[in-house]
Amino acid sequence: MLPLLLVVGGAVGVLAIVRRRRAERGKPVAHMDRLTALPRYRAAFARYRAWTALGLVLLVLAGIGTAFVAARPAAVNANQNDDYKRDILLCLDVSGSMVDVDAEILGVFQQIATGLDGERIGMRIFDASSVMAFPLTSDYDYIIEQLGRYQRALEGSLGPDEQFNYAAGTSNGNGASLVGDGLASCALDFASTDDTDRPRSIILATDNMVNGQQIFSLEQAGQLAIDNDVRVYAINPFDFGGDPVSAQLQNVAETTGGAYFALDFADTVSSIVERVNAIEAGYIETPPEVQIVDRPGPLLPILMMLVVGICIVAWRVRL
């Protein structure tokens, strides 16, 4: 826009100089006062002066507008990115007392997986020993397929052509519901991941009814989670209110920065998972994306109209 105005202004100036030089080279005429006294001459001269004044006003306005545009009026936009990419590991106790709860959790996460974008989900199951059901991945078709297969196996509703033992590999040890070892395995799954900036969480479903000798105590497993920046969200379907086993599980989960949920008639698995997601969202603080955007507003179209007006005036007065 500025170069265009400079071109127009330069053209007007050049034409004015050429016209002036032509006038200086003209021949003197006698009795010009009689010509200038004619009404038609006076009217034509008045129109000329009006057009010239209009041209000067347009040039001044165009100069002011050009100065504003050259200053690049801008606006600062701070866009908060609502997307967050986290890692979620389902850590499920598959001992006999937890089968129904595990199946319900898997059903809820199948629904959640259909709306995810960039988040990774993995699953590890444990009893006397732990097994990686599937590693952290963002392949949601695969996630839904695996969750569905494990859910059907836990519910006992596998199809006639499906041969699958969900508990395979979880009995290679002495005891049952070795929660400390199971949580430690889940926490260590994050030790090999390079994306340390991704929020990490474990959904631990267990009644914490340990039967056997553990390698890791529950407190030691919780410390491993803390060391790997993992928050633990524990779901216990057998919280009898104030019993030491439930209190221990609650203390470990909350120490990691996570939370503890007692599953009862007032809470469903889906509502607990929603609360977990709400808590996780509070931990994720993505900085706003600051953008500086030129905002000339209506100045550009106004300048275009002024340029057109200057051209019309220049043609009209025939400089």
295 pLDDT more than 50 = yes
User: Cα–Cα distance between 118 and 137 in angstroms, integer?
Assistant: 9
Q: pLDDT at position 40, please?
A: 79
| Beta bridge partners of residue 248, listed in sequence order | none
User: Cα–Cα distance between 190 and 226 in angstroms, integer?
Assistant: 11
The CATH class given to the 87-283 domain equals alpha beta
Q: pLDDT at position 311, please?
A: 76
User: Can you say whether residue 298 is alpha, beta or left, with left for phi > 0 and alpha for psi between -120 and 50 degrees?
Assistant: alpha
| Beta bridge partners of residue 203, listed in sequence order | 90, 233
Looking at 76-85, 112-121, 126-135, 268-277, which range is the least confident one? 76-85
pLDDT bin (cut points 50, 70, 90) of residue 161 is confident
14 pLDDT more than 80 = no
The residue count for the chain: 319
Looking at 2-11, 84-93, 254-263, 300-309, which range is the least confident one? 2-11
- Each residue's pLDDT tens digit, 182-227: 999 999 999 876 666 778 899 999 999 999 999 999 999 999 999 9
What is each CA distance from 190 to 91, 173, 231, 261, 280, in whole angstroms?
12, 23, 11, 23, 17
252 pLDDT more than 70 = yes
Q: pLDDT at position 141, please?
A: 92
Q: For 140-149, what is the mean pLDDT?
A: 93
253 pLDDT more than 90 = yes
User: Cα–Cα distance between 311 and 319 in angstroms, integer?
Assistant: 11
Looking at 95-104, 134-143, 263-272, which range is the least confident one? 263-272
pLDDT bin (cut points 50, 70, 90) of residue 80 is very low
Q: Which residue has the higher pLDDT, 273 or 93?
A: 93
Q: pLDDT at position 77, please?
A: 62
Q: For 131-135, what is the mean pLDDT?
A: 95
266 pLDDT more than 70 = no
Quick one: how far is CA 92 from the chain centroid? 30
Q: Which residue has the higher pLDDT, 33 or 25?
A: 33
User: Can you say whether residue 140 is alpha, beta or left, with left for phi > 0 and alpha for psi between -120 and 50 degrees?
Assistant: alpha
pTM of the model: 0.62
- Each residue's pLDDT tens digit, 108-129: 888 878 776 778 899 999 999 9
Q: What is the mean pLDDT of the chain?
A: 79
Residue position matching structure tokens 């059907």: 152
Share of the chain above pLDDT 90, in %: 33
Q: Which residue has the higher pLDDT, 197 or 262?
A: 262
